[in-house]
Amino acid sequence: MDTLKCVLSRVSFLLLFALIQGGTKAQTYDTISNWDGIAREWYISTGTGGYAGNPLPDAVNNSEGCFRVVTGSGLYDFMICDLDGPVNFDENPRYRIKVLAPSSGGHVVLKFENYNNTASQEMLMTPVPGQWTDLVFDFSGLSYNNLTRMVIFYDFMGTAAGKEWFIDDVLSETPGPLTLESHLPIFVINTFGVPIQDEPKIDGHLGIIDNGAGNMNNLNDPYNHYDGAIGIEIRGQSSQMFPKKSYSFETRTASGSNLNVPLLGMPQENDWVLYAPYSDKSMLRNVVTFAMARRMEGYVTRTRFCEVVVNNDYKGVYVLMERIKRDANRVDIATLNPDEVSGDDVTGGYILRVDKLDPDYIPDMDGWVSSVNPTYPQAVPVTFQYFYPKNDEIVQPQRAYIRDFVTAAEAALAG
């Protein structure tokens, strides 16, 4: 119990400093439409729309006027306008729209597209039903090639006709200079104008500021912990839809080769993860769980809290994590070559993965379904996927060995 208290207090101490420090910008806003003097021509797709008095003035929106739209029965009710020029998500990464949704609720999508809708970027948000909500759409890091039209979908994918929605204060944000001080290490990532995507990794630069425990780190300090090349991509599956993205990155040489380095006290390697605990508002679940597990036998991913800035945009508090892989300082198991198919050789090591299935998953080739049915309601049978050796490197006798080994262990436990 004393060990657990120590773990929790240390993590809470770190998180406290993370929360009381932060990145700030003296941003300014450019009004695109506000219906109280700044007018723009909007085309309404279906139903009706036009100027209206504010039906519910409050602290979020006390304007006299706004824009009223009434839904049709189709899936896509929208209002669209031509902008004065193409958007630039580097200069204006965020857009705000005040929305008064009906009590039945619904979704709002903000979309930017080119003149013939062959290129676009869009983002969905959900306002609070029955009250004004100031929605903030963050397009930071996304491509913006000649997107000259703004489209606002209200009641997105809804089919109920006659619903009233009210729109006001459509703004674009121009960030000011970023300032950041924190007791946590600061990761500064620059991809030189190229949006970070989900595979393949793109080239970038990483600078890490870490002045030591108890000392303040400032964004203007020298990169004193790491200052070099990386390859970076967005990480995750469903979590890629979150506004705060997780990233996988490799530390590299200037020529692009893997570069093993120690980061924040972790043993040297080149594969790393910047985990964004977006759905865990405490930001503690994984860190505390891993800290407890490390006090037991076996390898568990090491973690460190840090602040992350991407292309001069403050992304928030992240968790630096080791990527799970076979390595003397990570999962320390023996190598397994394709010719090791009998005797002690075939016993491993192996790493299996229980996760969402890969899109190209082939049953019995890339893994297998557990022979034990879960006992709790509406459970999905567990699928084990080969992780090491990779599914395109493991050979059939090795597949059979590890499958039979795990199946026997499950049967003994389910006994």
Does the pLDDT of residue 176 top 50, yes or no? Answer: yes
Query: Of the ranges 19-23, 360-364, 393-397, which one carries the lowest mean pLDDT score?
Result: 19-23
Q: What percent of the chain has pLDDT over 90?
A: 72
d(CA 237, CA 116): 30
**Mean pLDDT on 277-286:** 91
Does the pLDDT of residue 1 top 60, yes or no? Answer: no
Q: How many CA atoms lie within 13 A of 4 on its CB side?
A: 3
Domains annotated on the chain, with CATH: 29-173 (2.60.120.260), 181-322 (no CATH), 345-414 (no CATH)
- With residue 369 as reference, give the H or E element that holds it: strand 367-369
Question: Using 50, 70 and 90 to split pLDDT, how confident is the model at 375?
Answer: confident
Does the pLDDT of residue 19 top 50, yes or no? Answer: no
Which residues are CB-contacts of 340 (< 8 A; sequence separation ≥ 6)?
346, 398
Question: Using 50, 70 and 90 to split pLDDT, how confident is the model at 186?
Answer: very high
| Six-digit token string for 79 | 């209002």
Long-range CB contacts (within 8 A, 24+) of 287-290:
287/11, 287/319, 288/7, 288/8, 288/11
pLDDT of residue 24: 57
pLDDT of residue 105: 94
Q: Where are the alpha helices (DSSP H) in 276-395?
A: 285-294
d(CA 86, CA 150): 10
204-245 confidence digits (pLDDT tens): 999 999 999 999 999 999 999 999 999 999 998 778 778 889
67-83 confidence digits (pLDDT tens): 999 999 888 999 999 99
d(CA 218, CA 221): 5
- How many C-beta neighbours within 10 Å does residue 244 have? 15
Question: Using 50, 70 and 90 to split pLDDT, how confident is the model at 313?
Answer: confident
pLDDT of residue 17: 44
Does the pLDDT of residue 16 top 60, yes or no? Answer: no
Query: Of the ranges 10-19, 27-36, 76-85, 238-247, which one carries the lowest mean pLDDT score?
Result: 10-19
**Mean pLDDT on 135-150:** 90
pLDDT of residue 5: 47
**Mean pLDDT on 276-285:** 91
Q: Where are the alpha helices (DSSP H) in 305-378?
A: none
**Mean pLDDT on 197-207:** 94
Q: Is 256 left (phi over 0), alpha (psi -120 to 50) or beta?
A: left
Does the pLDDT of residue 143 top 90, yes or no? Answer: no
Question: Using 50, 70 and 90 to split pLDDT, how confident is the model at 26?
Answer: low
- With residue 43 as reference, give the H or E element that holds it: strand 43-44
> The pTM is what?
0.67
Does the pLDDT of residue 9 top 60, yes or no? Answer: no
Looking at every residue in the chain, the average pLDDT score rounds to 90
Does the pLDDT of residue 284 top 60, yes or no? Answer: yes
Q: Select the highest-mean-pLDDT range: 20-34, 125-139, 362-376.
A: 125-139
- How many C-beta neighbours within 10 Å does residue 46 have? 15
Does the pLDDT of residue 275 top 60, yes or no? Answer: yes
- What is the helix, strand, coil percentage profile of the chain, to 5? 15, 35, 50
pLDDT of residue 8: 45
79-111 confidence digits (pLDDT tens): 999 999 999 998 899 999 999 999 999 999 999
pLDDT of residue 393: 95
- Any idea what DSSP says for residue 178? E
Which residues are CB-contacts of 325 (< 8 A; sequence separation ≥ 6)?
269, 271, 331, 351, 388
**Mean pLDDT on 337-350:** 95
| Six-digit token string for 223 | 């990169």
pLDDT of residue 238: 75
Question: Using 50, 70 and 90 to split pLDDT, how confident is the model at 60?
Answer: very high
